Structure formats: structure tokens, C-alpha cells
Structure 1
Amino acid sequence: MSNTMLVAVGGFLGAMARFGMSKWISSRTKSAFPYGTFAVNLIGSFLLGLIIGSQMGENATLFFGTGFMGAFTTFSTFKVENIIFYRNKERKIMFWYLGLSYILGVFVAFVGFTLGSTS
């Protein structure tokens, strides 16, 4: 399978997984905090760290890392949600969301990378 097809198929599956998981989580929380996007991005950060740390090989990395995780995580939705918090003057939620997302995202990616490197 070509590199482009690996990324495309992985991306399709990742986008579908993100949509389903984000909607499922959001439907179970009644809060202004976007738990669906937050959870998907943290899970994706951990898994991408694990994938890269484990050095799976080029095809697996293209499929799972670039394709699936690239579409599973959602940086653009994260940014738009923060803009909406800002415009709605929900600064406390915005700062918590930004801080937790960046700090925990880097932390879980590091944990995933470390676990992947040791296996």
C-alpha cells in the first residue's frame, strides 16, 4: 500500500473514531468544559507518544501516527473552542482548558513515548 493510502485510510478511521468518541463523551457531561475534545486530545497525545516511542516502522507510523492520530486529535477544534470561551467572556474555563490541555498533553505524550521506548 502506498504511503498516501496508509495516511488516508488511517485518517479516515481516526476522524470517525474522534467524532464518535467526542460525541459520546460530550453527551454524558453537562458542562461548558469541552470534555469530549479534551479527552480525545489527551488520549491521542498518549497514543502518538507510544507509537513514536515504540518505533513501529515506517508503514505503521504513517498509518497509526500520521493518519489515525493526526485525524483523531483535533487542534483546530481545540482552538475554536478557546476562541468561543474568550468571546463569551468565560475566561476561567478558557485558561483551565488551555493550561490543562497543554500541560497534560505534553505529559501524557512523554509517558507514552517512555512506555513505547521501553518495550
Structure 2
Amino acid sequence: MNFLLVSLGGATGAIFRYLLGLAVMKRFSSPPFPFAMLVVNILGSLGLGVFYGVYYGAIPLGSYGEPAFLFVGIGYFGAFTTFSTFSTESVQLVQKKAWKPLFCYISLSIIGSVMMFVLGFATMKEL
């Protein structure tokens, strides 16, 4: 059952990541850095923070057996956000020697994702 929950959540998250990425790329066709993945990862971090705040009211430890965590936390948001694509796109910017876009992309991705997670979690925990 756990594999099914992770699989269904992952499939859903991957589809939504793909659709959001397409929408962002359509709206911003020539950004200076991989803007679509930045948006996806920041929104995914916000969403995971909101989920933790609403469902747990804390950062869960040892919740690998809970159905909601398996579906939403691991499956959906695990597939929605992507560190591997972030890494690939960062290396592509290095190969192009696009240092300023690289710095912006890495900084905004890491700091923005952490800040949005904290914002989502703190906001929902208080409700």
C-alpha cells in the first residue's frame, strides 16, 4: 500500500510539475536563467511547508508509514520539485560561462525555496 501511495502522489506531482513548467515557459520564453524550474521548486517548497503546517503543525519525524505523508510529502512534492533538474540547469549555465545568471539561479532557488517553506509552514501552523 505504501508503494501505491508514493507512486500515485509521485505521478500526480510529476504531471503538475510538467504542466506548470510548460505554462511558465510559455509566459516567459527567454528568461536569463531557468525560470520555470525556479518557480516550480519555490512553489513546491511553499506547498510542502503548508502541508506540514496544516496536517502536522510540526516538521514530521518518523512519519514514513503515514498515508498522507507518503502521498503528499514524499510522492507529490518529491516529484513536483526537482533537485536533479536544478543541478543540470546549473551545470549548463557553468558550461555557458553565464556566471551572473548562475549566481542568481542558485541563490534564488536555494534561499527562495527555504524561505517559502518556512513561510508556508509558519503561516499554516498558526491557523
In structure 1, the partner of 2:117 is 109
1:54: how far off? 2.3
1:12-23 correspondence runs (5 A): 12-23=11-22
Query: What is the CA-CA distance between 1:51 and the residue it aligns to?
Result: 1.2
Matched residue, 1:28: 27
Distance 1:52 1:70 in 2: 14
Inter-partner Cα distance in structure 1 for 2:91 and 2:10: 26
Which range moves more in the overlay, 29-38 or 65-74? Answer: 29-38
Quote the offset at 1:50 in angstroms.
1.2
Percent pairwise identity: 37
Q: CA deviation at 1:32?
A: 3.0
Point out 4+ residue stretches in structure 1 off by more than 4 angstroms. none
The counterpart of 1:67, out of the listed 66, 72, 75, is: 75
- Cα deviation 1:29-83 (Å, max 9, x = unaligned): 1223211101000000001111122235822121111100000001100010000
Contact 1:82 1:98 in 2 (8 A): yes
> TM-score, normalization: structure 2?
0.87
CA RMSD, 1 decimal: 1.4
Contact 1:51 1:61 (C-alpha < 8 Å) held by counterparts: no
What are the within-5 Å matches in structure 2 for residues 89-108 of structure 1? 89-108=97-116
* Residue of structure 1 equivalent to 2:47: 47
The whole-number CA distance in structure 2 between the counterparts of 1:81 and 1:32 is 12
- Alignment coverage as a number of residue pairs: 118
- For the pair 1:87 / 2:86, whether they are aligned, the reply is no
Residue ranges of structure 1 left out of the alignment (5+ in a row)? none
Gaps of 5+ in 2: 57-62
Task: State the alpha-carbon separation in 1 of the partners of residues 13 and 102 from structure 2.
Answer: 26
> How many Å separate the matches in 2 of 1:55 and 1:68?
15
The answer as to whether partners of 1:26 and 1:34 remain within 8 angstroms in 2 is: no
Structure 1 length-normalised TM: 0.92
